[in-house]
Structure 1
Amino acid sequence: MHCIQLLQVPLGGRLDSIQPSWTSLVANIQAVNGTTKVLWAPQHEDENTQGLAITWKSYDAQKKWAASTESTAWMSKIKSIAAGPLYEDIVLFSEVVDAALGANVVELVSWIHPTSQINKEKMDKVEYGFSQVRKSISNQAPEADGDLVAGWGQIEFDHDGVPSRRFTAFIGWKSVKAHNDFKSTPLFPENIHWLMENNHTGVEVAHYAFSKSSEE
């Protein structure tokens, strides 16, 4: 399995006001034994929110680091510059995610499910639905870029008072406009039902240009 740690950090102002701190935090996590790549970008919807996608060699490597004092110190520094609650998750993918994260724009979309309802039958149904959407977009949508991958989040969190977990996808697009244009094509209503009929309790969507910002 491919392990990606995701963070969305709402800052109190523009990135340039805390640039040295942010650059240091990114460099620190890049230097951790067990990480292979760290991508970051401002969120399209809110430029004061920074997104991090940290690729780990394995889930075991991530868990080992998470149990360390170094992790505690790093997370404390992240929280010290945050202006609100963090979005954090560890997502396990069965496929390589590089092509999706390398798209011009990545749609980071999560469907929230009560933990008590997540069983093999539901997981199989959700994953099959995503596979149908992936097949259609990959083969027929000129607006798409890179790849589409999805996996289950490992961190349980409180969603409206209910312990929940996420099913999260990276969907590559040529631009945010291209994604919005896709929604007006016949492919959207023909396929969105695969993702909307699984009794989820919420959806979170944001866009990041990871491949551009991470190279700056």
Structure 2
Amino acid sequence: MSQATEIAFISLVPNSNVDDESSDASEVIKSSITTVSGQEGFQAAYYGRHVEREDMLQLVVDWASLEAHETFMKSGTYQPFLKHIQSISTGPPDFFHVHFETPFSRPSSAPVTELVTLYFEDSYNPDDFADNWKKFSETAAKNAEGIRSMASGWSIDDVKHKSLGEGVKGKAFVAGIGWTSVKAHMDYRETEAFKDSVKYLRDGPKGIEMHHVEFKGYRDYA
């Protein structure tokens, strides 16, 4: 069994200021992660709102294995945990799992983390994208000022996305890229190095989504 990282999206109800440490919303998130941290197979957790969408919370949990998370979801603790989370959300979290080749803790420890998700048809062979990602990521590492670290990997479960078609499932490639600031990332996007290499990202996937998160780690408040 290999490590699995849960990538969860939580749509917040209005006025849920999870960044305010004294707010009820912040307490809900922190107590919920404390519950998760007590489960067998838990390794680490990171959370933060999308910079581009303040009503969307990103929760990332490292598990020892996919089975560890599935065991938690089948336990008697899970439904009360879910109800607690939903006290500040518009519905249950959407999530899928990724096997990162390097620890997600590296990019998530940067001041801001870019999360880019590429959606592929189910028939796509991940090996066909390996060279593309290598060219794109090596170009960024060499030319981008303010880049800190990267972690990337493929989804373990099938995923849905509008680019794949209604009700159609495929696979996702997720990259976490740590930056010194959002501005550093945006400045790099204006360079010739980025413009010449972004074609490698666009060759293969049916859809691409990107956003930024300023992550807090479980150990930041535990």
Q: TM-score, normalised by structure 2?
A: 0.84
Q: Give runs of aligned pairs for residues 38-49 of structure 1, distance below 5 A.
A: 38-49=45-56
The one-letter code of the counterpart of 2:130 is E
3-state DSSP class of the match of 2:13? coil
Backbone CA RMSD of aligned residues: 2.2
- Residues 1:8 and 2:9 are matched in the alignment: yes
Q: Cα gap change, 1:84/1:109 in structure 2, threshold over 3 Å: closer, same or farther?
A: farther
Provide the residue aligned with 2:42 in structure 1.
Answer: 35
Aligned counterparts of 1:33 and 1:213: Cα–Cα separation in 2: 16
Task: Write out aligned runs for 1:134-149 (5 A).
Answer: 134-145=137-148, 147-149=149-151
Q: Which residue identity does 2:201 align to in structure 1?
A: L
Equivalent in 172, 180, 183 of residue 174 of structure 1 = 180
3-state SS, counterpart of residue 193 of structure 1: helix
* Whole-angstrom CA distance in 2 between matches of 1:70 and 1:17: 21
- Deviates most, 68-77 or 93-102: 68-77
Structure 1 gaps of 5+ residues are: none
8 A Cα contact 2:45 2:218, kept in partner? no
2:174 partner amino acid: T
Question: Equivalent residue for 1:19?
Answer: 26
Letter in 2 for 1:124: D
Decide whether the 8 Å contact of 1:11 with 1:82 is kept in 2: yes
Alignment partner of 1:152 is 2:154: yes
- Matched residue pairs, number? 210
The residue that corresponds to 2:104 in the other structure is: 97
Matched, 1:106 2:113: yes
Q: Distance in 2 between matches of 1:73 and 1:167?
A: 32
The Cα shift of 1:84 comes to 4.9
Counterpart AA for 1:194: Y
**2:107, 2:97 → 1: CA distance?**
17
Offset at residue 72 of structure 1 (A) = 4.2
Q: 1:36: Cα distance to partner? A: 1.4
Equivalent in 188, 201, 208 of residue 203 of structure 1:
208
| SS class of match (1:44) | coil
CA shift, 1:75, in A, is 3.2
Residues 40-94 of structure 1: per-residue CA shift (max 9 Å, x gap): 1121112222111111123332333333333344334434532256431111012
Q: 1:71 aligns with which of 47, 61, 78?
A: 78
| Structure 1 residues 142 and 211: CA distance shift in structure 2, 3 A | farther
Q: Does 1:131 align with 2:134?
A: yes
Percent identity, aligned pairs only, is 22
Q: Which moved more, 1:68-77 or 1:180-189?
A: 68-77
Structure 1 distance, partners of 2:3, 2:143, is 27
Cα 1:128–1:80 shift into 2, 3 Å: farther
1:192 partner SS:
helix
1:186 aligns with 2:192: yes
Q: TM-score, normalised by structure 1?
A: 0.86
Counterpart of 2:65?
Answer: 58
Q: CA deviation at 1:163?
A: 1.5
Cα distance in 2, alignment partners of residues 140 and 156 from structure 1: 34
Change (3 A) 1:84 1:165: farther
